[in-house]
A = this chain, B = another copy of it.
Amino acid sequence: MPEKEIQNPKSKTQNRLDFYKITTEPLDVGAIARKIVPASCGAIVTLDGFVRQFTKGRETEYLVYEAYEPMALKEMEKLVARAHAEFEIENVGIVHRLGRLEIGETSVVISVAAPHRRAAFEACEWLIKELKRTVPIWKKEVYRGGETWIEGAN
């Protein structure tokens, strides 16, 4: 799967350091956070979601993530625009990984830079909640003796 990336979109609702991306490559959490550092900000809050070994007592062997890629990027763009409308934040970085992920590997990173850390915490938490609700990405859990596509709650 080729690496997909849209960076610095020209949309008027986007700030110049925002970026969002889906990729099959491993994610470097620190490097992603650093991409959104503006000189005026003092804090970045980052969520690093990764593959758990146990879910509800069952041992996962690995996960496979799949996306409706063009729609996922559109929904990520909308999310970033909504975050700017709702929170006093400077920049947002969102990267979701696709393909097979082993235990402990990072599946999603969301970083938010803001002048005040309160807004960065709030926006980061809101973004992961909304991403899990709206962005068309699915995970298949593969465990000993079977596999199942996980279906969201909404």
Binding site for B on A (CB under 8 A): 28-31, 33-34, 37, 39-54, 103-104, 117-118, 120-121, 124-125, 128
Chain B residues with CB under 8 A of A53? 39-40
Copies in the complex: 2
Given contacts A29-B33, A30-B28, A46-B29, contact A39 B103 (CB under 8 A): yes
Indicate if the CB atoms of B37 and A54 lie closer than 8 Å: no
Provide the residues of chain B in CB contact with A47, threshold 8 Å.
43-46, 117, 120-121
Minimum C-beta distance from A120 to chain B (A): 8
Contact A45 B104 (CB under 8 A): no
Separation of A153 and B28 alpha carbons in the complex (Å) = 36
Q: A29 contacts which chain B residues (CB < 8 A)?
A: 29-30, 33-34, 46
In the bound complex, what is the Cα–Cα distance between A76 and B101 (angstroms)?
34
Residue among B28, B33, B43, B128 making CB contact with A117, cutoff 8 Å: B128
The answer to whether B28 and A54 touch across the interface, beta carbons within 8 angstroms, is no
The answer, among B40, B48, B51, for a CB contact under 8 Å with A46, is B48
